[in-house]
Structure formats: structure tokens, C-alpha cells
Amino acid sequence: MPTPFIDTHCHLDAPEFDTDRVEMRARAAAQDVMVCVIPAVAAFNFDTVRQLAHAQGDVYALGIHPLCAGSATEDEVALLDAALSAHRDDPRLVAVGEIGLDYFVEGLEPGRQERIFEAQLRLARKHDLPVLLHVRRSVDPVLKALRVAGGGKPWHGIAHAFNGSEQQAQACIELGLKLGFGGAVTFDRALRLRRLATTLPLEAIVMETDSPDIPPHWVYKTQADRAQGQPQGRNEPAELPRIAEVVAGLRGMTVEEVAQASTRNALEALPRLAGLVSVSGIG
């Protein structure tokens, strides 16, 4: 029996899935994607991701996304604290996320993003939960904040959609993090990322789709396609094994070996998930 996959980052509550959410999840299951990790983005979807994870047999994280930090206040951080307390015994609550910093999107107020992020790192420590990290153009400051909030102790968690340097990857690994790889690695032109996916220690890699975003090249619509009125392709968890096949090809491994390693790594990054599922041959 093939080792099932874990999609460690997918926004399955997104409106893009409103018309076919049940079928979308069934397609993922048919492709051996056993568990999807559904992160929240702000207090408005805390209940939605929790209910969805329960309805689908998946797991979830609660947090305030850096792109939502602009409108978040200290009150919203207090709401997160309260939600983490209220659901502390929920085995499907596996992390604080999606949290982090984004220095790619313009117009975000750095000071506010940083305050909201640091407060959430303290909450992750308080509630003894791993972190799902957004690190777009921000790996170094995210690592710095983790070191401060962690007080020298390692972290559990995932730097999702990792696209940093080899040195930054190494620094993440040294802090205890796994690195999330998804659709971006399927593009031939993503040279640095493909080199990382090829050379990083296998123990550091987890797989993700970031659905409905970051479509792999076979789903992606080019600018020319879109100029002709085609909408951007929608990514979904069922694409995960094919993305893993690309990683397997880069590393000269079988897709089963990538499934085994990435699933084991995901369970290590998210200990509560390990308590929830059992995968034969992994533990």
C-alpha cells in the first residue's frame, strides 16, 4: 500500500472551493492525500477552518496572516489567545498559523506586522503549539523573531512555501523547522528552489499545495492564456502526489520514498497530528 500524503498547507475554506468542496476533497483522498492542514488567516475564519477540518477529517491551525495584520488589532490577538484556550483539547488543532512576515506585498506597515507576529509567537509558546510560518522575502527577520520568542529553545513547525537561500534553509533547520515545498518547484525556471529541493536533507522536507494558490506548471495559466480570458488555474490537494513526483525526479528517488519521508517529517513537525493518525511503517 502506498504511503499516504499530508498536504501541510492548504486554504480549503477559500471561496474558490465553494462550488465543489466535497468533490475536491474526495479527489484528494483518491490520490492518497490523507490529511490536509488548513490554516486560518484571521479571527473571521477561525470557526470556519475548525468546522471544515472536523467535517473533512482534516486538521487546522489558528492565527493571523501577515496580509491580514494590517487590519488586526491587539483585540484580535486576544481573540486568538481565547480561541487557542477554548480548543486546547481539540486534537485537530495542530498549530498556530498562518503567521509570519511579508516584505513582498507593498503597503503593509512593517511595525504592525512585526508586533502581531511576535505576539503570536508568544502565544504559540504559551499554548505549546508548533507554528506554520509565512516567510515571503522575510526569512531572516522571521528567524530573528523565533530566536527571541523561543529563548534559545528549538521550535516545531514549518516554513511554508519556502523560497530562500541555502544558508537561510540551514538556519531554519537548525531552529527545528521543516521546509514546505509545493507548486513552485515544478517550474523549470525556479533554479534556486529546485536546487534546494534536490540537495536539502530529506528529513527537512514537507509537501504542501497552498491551494487554491501556487498552481503547478500543468495547472498554471500564463499571461497569454489569461489575456484570452482564461482565469488563473486553481490548485487543489489532489495535485500533491504529482508535485511530489517532481521532487522525487529531482532527487533521483521514487515518489514512494518522498511520500514516506515527507509524511514522517510532517508528523514530526506537528506532534498532535502524529497523535491523531497512524501510518503503517512510520512512527
Indicate the pairing of strand 157-160 with strand 178-181: parallel
Nearer to Zn ion, 66 or 233 (CB): 66
The cell 488589532 sits on which residue?
A: 73
The dihedrals phi and psi of 111, each to the nearest 5 degrees, come to -60, -40
Nearer to Zn ion, 98 or 102 (CB): 98
Distance CA 218, CA 242 (A): 10
Q: Which stretch binds Zn ion (CB under 5 A): 18-26, 93-101, 147-155, 171-179?
A: 93-101
Distance CA 40, CA 129 (A): 15
Q: Which stretch binds Zn ion (CB under 5 A): 76-84, 95-103, 177-185, 242-250?
A: 95-103
For the CB of residue 97, give the shortest distance to Zn ion in the complex, in Å: 8
Nearer to Zn ion, 79 or 135 (CB): 135
For the CB of residue 222, give the shortest distance to Zn ion in the complex, in Å: 23
Number of residue whose CB is nearest Zn ion? 98
Nearer to Zn ion, 210 or 248 (CB): 210
Q: Which stretch binds Zn ion (CB under 5 A): 42-50, 98-106, 142-150, 166-174?
A: 98-106
Nearer to Zn ion, 139 or 279 (CB): 139
Q: Which stretch binds Zn ion (CB under 5 A): 97-105, 121-129, 182-190, 254-262?
A: 97-105
Task: Give DSSP secondary structure letters for 77-139.
Answer: HHHHHHHHHHTTT-TTEEEEEEEEEESSSTT--HHHHHHHHHHHHHHHHHTT--EEEEEET-H
Where do contacts with Zn ion occur on this chain (CB under 5 A)? 98
